Structure 1
Amino acid sequence: MAIDLQQISKRFRFYTNLQELEMQDLKSITGSDEETLDCLLNGCNMPMDELVAIIKHFHDLNPQWLIYGEGSMFKPMDENGNCQEGQKGHLKKDKAAYLKQMQNMLIELDAAEVAKGHKPDVEALKAKLDEYKATH
C-alpha cells in the first residue's frame, strides 16, 4: 500500500487539533524543529525515518491510522482501562467553537478518505463527538 503524505498530513492535523496541540507543544513533545513539523503538517515530502521519529512521541496515536487510515485514531486503552498518555480531559477552547471545528475537520477527513477509497473510522469519531456534546 502506498503512503500518501497529504492524507498523513490531514490525519496528523486532525489529531493535533483534537489534542489541542499548538506548534510550540509539538516542538516540545518531539524535539523537532518548526520546519520539519511544518513539512509534516502540510504534506511535504519527508523521509520515512523522520516521520517515524516524530510520531513515536505520541504514545496514544495509532501509527497504522496515521499512515494508512486504518483502524482507530487512538491506540486501545491499557489493561487497567486507563487513558493512554497524552489524552486530555478538558478543553482549553470554547466548547461550541471547538466542536464545530472538529466536525468540519471530520467532514474534510471523511471526504479525503472516501476519495482515496478508504473505509475510515470517521463514523465512530462522529459518534464520540455527539456523545461528548450530549454530556457536556
Structure 2
Amino acid sequence: MAANLEQIGTRLRFFMKIKGMDIFALGEFTNTSAILISNIIAGKNYCMDDLLSVLNNIPELNPHWVIYGEGNIFKSETTPADTDTATMQKNRLKHLQEMQQLLETLDAIEKSKENKSQIDNLKARITELTRKL
C-alpha cells in the first residue's frame, strides 16, 4: 500500500486542528522545524525519515493512521485524557469522530476516482464541521 503525501498532510493538519496547534507549535512540540511541518502538510520536500521523526515525538498519535488513513487517529480507542480534551464541549468529540469517518470516506473515494461531486460534497461537510469546532 503506497502512502499518499497529500493525504498524510491532510491527516496531520486534522490532528493539529484537534489539538489547536499551528505549524510552529507542532514544530516546537516535536523538536523539529516549522518548515518541515509545513512541507509535510503541503505534501512536498520531505523524506519518510523526517515524517517518522515527527510522528515518534507525538506519542498519542497513531502513525499508521497518519500514513495510511487506517485505524484510529489516537493510539488508544479513547481520546487522550489531558487538559485539552477534558475541556472539550460535549458535541465536539462527536464532530471529530464524524470528521475522521468523512476523511476515511474521502480517501476511499479519491483512491477509486469514482465521482468528483461526492468528493466536493464530503469536503464541504468537513469544512462545515471544522467551523463548528
> Are positions 1:57 and 2:52 aligned together?
no
Letter in 2 for 1:114: I
**Residues 1-136 of structure 1 correspond to what in structure 2 (within 5 A)?**
1-76=1-76, 83=80, 88-90=85-87, 109=103, 110-117=105-112
Deviation digits for residues 9-47 of structure 1 (CA, Å, limit 9, x no counterpart): 011101110111122311211121121111011111411
Is the partner of 1:6 in helix, strand or coil?
Answer: helix
With over 3 angstroms needed to count, the CA separation of the structure-2 counterparts of 1:114 and 1:84, relative to structure 1, is: farther
Deviation digits for residues 37-79 of structure 1 (CA, Å, limit 9, x no counterpart): 11011111411111000111111110111101111111116xx
Rounded to whole Å, the distance in 1 between the matches of 2:13 and 2:68 is 15
Rounded to whole Å, the distance in 1 between the matches of 2:75 and 2:84 is 11
Rounded to whole Å, the distance in 2 between the matches of 1:66 and 1:39 is 15
Return the TM-score normalized by structure 1: 0.64
Rounded to whole Å, the distance in 2 between the matches of 1:57 and 1:84 is 18
With over 3 angstroms needed to count, the CA separation of the structure-2 counterparts of 1:82 and 1:11, relative to structure 1, is: closer
Rounded to whole Å, the distance in 2 between the matches of 1:68 and 1:8 is 8
Higher relative contact order (CA 8 A, sep 6+): 1
**How many correspondences in the alignment?**
111
- Name stretches of at least 5 consecutive residues in structure 2 with no aligned partner: 113-125
The alignment's C-alpha RMSD in Å is 3.6
Displacement of 1:90: 2.5
With over 3 angstroms needed to count, the CA separation of the structure-2 counterparts of 1:43 and 1:84, relative to structure 1, is: farther
Return the TM-score normalized by structure 2: 0.65
Is the partner of 1:44 in helix, strand or coil?
Answer: coil
Displacement of 1:82: 8.8
Rounded to whole Å, the distance in 1 between the matches of 2:11 and 2:27 is 18
Does the 8 Å CA contact 1:30/1:57 hold for their aligned counterparts? yes
Rounded to whole Å, the distance in 2 between the matches of 1:56 and 1:86 is 21
Rounded to whole Å, the distance in 1 between the matches of 2:99 and 2:48 is 25
- Name stretches of at least 5 consecutive residues in structure 1 with no aligned partner: 118-125
Does the 8 Å CA contact 1:60/1:87 hold for their aligned counterparts? no
